[in-house]
Structure 1
Amino acid sequence: MHLSDLHFGAHDPLVCAAVQRLAHRLRVDVVVVSGDLTQRATRQQFALAHDFVCGLGVDERVVLAGNHDLPLFAWWLRWGRAYQRFASQFGAQLEPQRQVGPFWIVGVNTTRPWRHERGTLSAAQVTRVAEDLRSAPVQAWRIVVSHHPLVARSAEDRSHRPHGADTAVQRWRDAGAHMLLSGHVHHPALLQPLPGLWSMQAGTAVSRRLRSGQPNSLVVLQTQSGPTGALGRQYPHRFAQRWDFDARSGDFVCVESMPVAG
């Protein structure tokens, strides 16, 4: 399950409860949160976000910071202690990597303490992620997670991409990436920037900060057993699903399920 832009401090408790019910119902193996857990990076908001994530009942987690998770009004913390409050609840590893079943997940931090909103990818980060992707098992679903989207849904979204995005997309596809997960723009979208590479942007999962008429939404990635090849290797079917919150029922419903071959 991929969640983004929780924005605790501007969250909807009813939607939070619906996400937790869905996670338990689907028996999620790993939850990925691609940043903006809080609205203003306060200690209380991080504590609320942590309680919510724990309430999903998923032991395996990959949690990244977003630009809203860096202090804005406590600006003095940005020099040397920008991620202190995030780390107190979610750990000091800002670029976690995890293998859970068929999923090989590589996190990359696109936020910078000196930037309020825009993101950046350094050359060292691009190289490190490419090396991590090449070290994955042959049949793994190789996924890279960032807060800022590396692929633009529209011309107006190009300004939300981090510096270095074009280079990263090409090199990571060449290194074997199958899927890019991101958030930030609060607008869900499934895109295919290059052959064999998909980009899935999540909307805002539980906040009231809805944009462009989009509801609260989240992403679910699923695998199913597929055909067996000539060498006895089984090739799984992979699906990317968009789940939207339905205010009438008070639950999330699957509104789109697409096969995403790697």
Structure 2
Amino acid sequence: MSGYPGLSGRTIVVTGAARGQGAAAALMLAGAGARVVATDVAAEPAADFSDTSVEYRRLDVANEGGWGDLAAFLRATLGGVPLKGLLNNAGITHRSRLGRIERSDWDRVLAVNVTGAMLGIQALAPLMGDGSSIVNVGSSAGLTGHYPAAYTTSKWALRGLTHVAATEYGPRGIRANIIHPGFIETEMTAGAPAAMRRSQLELTPLERLGQADEVAAVAAFLLSDAASYMSGAEIPVDGAFTSSAGAKYMADRIASEGAAAGS
């Protein structure tokens, strides 16, 4: 894929890659010629990685020891070549409001969504060099006051971690950016209430939900040399949902009521 220069033959780690966005990214990166180490807490991936350059390894991102094991594996197999990239895609949600969320659920979401990314950066940045890239997967919830308290908080925190990484590792030539997907059709969003899906469509100017490959394409771009001077950037992939900030819904209601009044 000429659109993703600098990936062929290089190694990239993708977390949360057993299915959904992570699997889509792993397959897209492999298609661009990268060696992809796909990780997830699941024992086996739901995605089919056969006949690709994707290697699957089990990893609980909230487990510091697991990251140490992965770093040791990469150190032994990289042959002195720097690790090209880390895509921190692993994430979980918990749809509970602030007044109702249990401490254990709060801790679990932040452990995976924020601490997991931090541990990954700590463990793998020493294997990176000039031209390497860290990409964190945030959410439109990290740009708004979305109601799931723990999930929203975790994605806002991930924004801060991204900017810290961009600042700290920039002198080594390592870039760090964050993507903010909107409502993407994956297994995680499949259980969303019907009212949430309807509302999302009403609030999204492109008037459709997103696909995992659309997020994967932006991740691949940021991991590639095509984005060689991009660091500290936050990129929504949400059909203008956060850009519109509800204005679409308001405009549609005004137009609808105006048409009704004139009929």
TM-score interval, smaller chain: 0.3 to 0.5
More strand per residue: 1
Larger C-alpha radius of gyration, 1 or 2? 2
More helix per residue: 2
TM-score in terms of structure 1 length: 0.39
TM-score in terms of structure 2 length: 0.39
